Amino acid sequence: MKIAVCVSLVPDSTTKVKVAQTGNEIDDAGVTYIINPYDEFAVEEAVQLKEKNGGEVTVISYGLDKSKEAIKKAYQMGADKGILIKSSSKYFDSYVVARNLADVLKELNPDIIFFGKQSIDFDGSVVPIMTAEILGLPSVNVVTKLEINGNDASAEREIEGGKEIVKFSLPAIIGAQKGLNNPRYPNLKSIMASKSKPIEERQPAYDTNNTEITEMKLPDAKGQGKIFTNGISDVPELVRLLREEAKTI
Amino acid sequence: MNKILVFAESKNNEFKSPAFEVVSAGIFLAEKLNFEFSVITVSNAGEDQLKSLGKFGAKEIFSINLEELNSLSGKPGIKYSHSAIASVISNFAKDNGYGIIIISGTAFGKEIAPCVSVKTGYSIVTDIVDLSGIESKMVKRPSYAGKCYTQVKINTDNYVLTIRPNVFKASENPSEPSINKFEAGKLNISGIDFKSCVSEVVVSSGKLDVAEADVIVSGGRGLRGPEHFHLVEELAAALGAATGASRAVVDAGWRPHGEQVGQTGKTVSPSLYVACGISGAIQHLAGMSSSKYIVAINKDKDAPIFQVADYGIVGDVFEILPALTLEINKLKS
């Protein structure tokens, strides 16, 4: 089975976001970059499929040189090949990413393609479906369960207060949600092996951004709240404030 | 002259707040830009249901019958197809000169909007919380789960926007809408547009989802075990709220992932958020700090949650939650 996984590199979720001098991006100082957490579910699903059916897992990332770290993490989890489509600029919109990924995917022609459901930096949640649409493939995002039977597949997709059961045929694009599986912890041997594994580099064929970020701002700081310290005896006063001051109950 | 197309999403053939909110957003945009706007629906909703959109200012509604659309799939027993509905919206927009498309950022909307963007060739910006800069094609959206906000400039004439649910309040603006039944067959849809099909929708125990709720009561590690979450659920019931959870308790398997609030869960902005036994890790704060009012109950007075709380009690959740539930039930009876 030919399997592809698209991954991205993002600031760790513990990052305290600071705005850089330029005013339209985050300050990189002290930021730890990791593979996008949802991409780990995507890689795990891909590797499990390979273990079950045989085949090869190719990881693709669009981004700066440092995005190789995300590919290396996928190597540690069991991916076989990696391709970095190297962006020449720090900013690229979701269409640029989808279009360039689609170019490479078209050539690879995989049986199934995995993404994380969204990246935790810009939270756009559009690249998996855009890529599928560019390629003319079926896609299901926010998937918590996947069953494959020959060319037919069925996915459970999380929606508000429930789930949808979606039927489609392969090849297709799946966006992984937490709950799809439990991503493995790489062992020392695979970590060592990943260091010397080559990553192929490509140049993007398309780089016209349709949208740009002009300003990034932190939310307004909140004033000091009314915090009571007498425990249970403060409950009536809290309820009074919620009713009379906040008018929320 | 451009035109705005608003997609009003229905659930079980009824229109709810996500639909009313996009209609309100459509009116706002139409007035700001001095453009015409129309509403498109794909449902089996009857005339009365369609008219409910008029209450929020929809004047011209194009209604595509879902059963009729599904009959073009050649597949029996399907509920709906995201890709086919995206084709309907895209083809209708292109055929009729709509250059701006607005969709609610619900689970359904997020699945179709990127598809509409590629099919139409319009650019896309998702999860918008502020449209006031639209005359200069500037929109505001959160990033990093709400740790910051970005102003995005759109560089194309035509664009698709998804708006974050619960942010643009649906405002009543009654009008008598014209309802135009539009044949799905006229939109050049065929079997290949049905790339994926929903065969079943499973509702989990009828519980309110954190993404839709106006009031949320969340529990964290301070509850000490899944067996104590009834305290959170009882307060939620008293407030008519959804139950949420911190990442720690979801990862520990105490609560389902659907309840997780935070950077790898859901970002929420309800009117009232009650955090019980949650210390307030940075990922959790990112996901809930845009709530209108935040109440924190935690025994550690230095817990970061108190820095974003409007109201709080330093104390034991095991004592305070039952007392709070009792007090609220008293008030409501």
**Is the per-residue pLDDT at B1 higher than 80?**
no
Q: What is the pLDDT of residue B22?
A: 97
Helix, strand and coil in chain B, % to nearest 5: 40, 30, 35
Question: Between β-strands B242-245 and B215-219, what pairing exists: parallel, antiparallel or unpaired?
Answer: parallel
Average pLDDT over chain B reads 95
User: Closest by alpha carbon to B143, among A14, A82, A120?
Assistant: A120
Average the pLDDT over B217-238 and give the result. 98
Peptide bond into B142 cis (omega under 30): no
- Four-point Cα dihedral B291, B296, B301, B305, nearest 10: -30
The closest alpha carbon to B197, from A52, A27, A67, A164, belongs to: A164
- Note the pLDDT of residue B299: 96
**The pair of three-digit structure tokens given for residue B146, joined into one six-digit string:** 């709400």
Contact residues, B window 170-209, toward A, CB-based 8 Å cutoff: 195-204, 206-209
Percent of chain A with pLDDT over 70: 100
pLDDT at B206: 65
Q: Is A23's Cβ below 8 Å from some Cβ in B?
A: no
Contact B309 A243 (CB under 8 A): no
Q: Does A184 touch chain B (CB under 8 A)?
A: no
Identify the pLDDT of residue B292.
94
Rounded average pLDDT over B13-19:
94
Long-range contacts, B320-324 (Cβ 8 Å, 24+): B320/A231, B320/A232, B320/A235, B321/B231, B321/B232, B321/B234, B321/B235, B321/B276, B321/B297, B322/B231, B322/B234, B323/A232, B323/A235, B324/A235, B324/A238, B324/A239, B324/B235, B324/B297
pTM, two decimal places: 0.95
Render pLDDT for B292-305 as a digit per residue (tens, 0 to 9).
Answer: 999 999 999 999 99
Average pLDDT over residues B32-55: 96
**Cβ contacts of A239 on chain B, cutoff 8 Å:** 324, 327-328, 331
**Dihedrals phi, psi of B203, to nearest 5 degrees:** -95, 130
* Residue range A96-123: mean pLDDT, rounded: 97
What is the mean predicted confidence (pLDDT) over A4-25?
Answer: 96
Residue B2: its pLDDT value, please? 87
Residue B332: how many other CB atoms lie within 10 Å:
10
Strands B159-163 and B100-104: parallel
B286 three-class SS? helix
How close, in Å, is residue B175 to chain A by CA atoms? Answer: 30
Q: Which residues of B217-240 are buried (b: 16+ CB within 10 A; e: fewer)?
A: bbbbebbeeeebbebbebbbebbe
- HSE on the CB side for B120, CA within 13 Å? 32
Give residues with Cβ within 8 angstroms of B263, minimum separation 6. Answer: A13, A120, B144, B145, B147, B283, B284, B286, B287
Integer CA distances (angstroms), B143 to A125, A213, B105, B211, in order:
11, 11, 15, 17
Dihedrals φ, ψ of B315, to 5°? Answer: 175, -175
pLDDT at B112: 98
Confidence category of residue B41, pLDDT binned at 50, 70, 90: very high
The beta-carbon neighbor of B239 closest among A13, A231, A249 is A249
Q: Are strands A226-228 and B311-314 parallel, antiparallel or unpaired?
A: parallel
Nearest-CB residue to A225 (from B127, B301, B311): B311
Please give the backbone phi and psi of residue A214, each rounded to the nearest 5 degrees, phi first. -100, -25
- Residue A240 touches chain B, beta carbons under 8 Å: no
The candidate with the shortest Cα–Cα distance to B2, out of B25, B21, B29, is B29
Token output for B151: 């102003």
pLDDT computed for residue B47 by the predictor: 92
A221: pLDDT strictly greater than 90: no
- Average pLDDT of the segment spanning A88-102: 96
pLDDT digits (tens, 9 = 90+) for B242-288: 999 999 999 999 999 999 999 999 999 999 999 999 999 999 999 99
Residues 6+ positions from A136 with CB-CB distance below 8 Å: none
Of B308, B303, B311, B315, nearest to B288 by C-alpha is B308
The verdict on B167 touching A (C-beta cutoff 8 Å) is no
Q: What's the whole-number mean pLDDT along residues B163-171?
A: 91
| Cβ-contact B270, B166 below 8 angstroms | yes
Report the gap between the CA of A22 and the closest CA in chain B (Å). 13
* pLDDT > 70 fraction of chain B, expressed in percent and rounded: 99
Higher pLDDT, B94 or B332: B94
Tens digit of pLDDT for each residue in A54-64? 999 999 999 99
**Residue B169: its pLDDT value, please?**
87
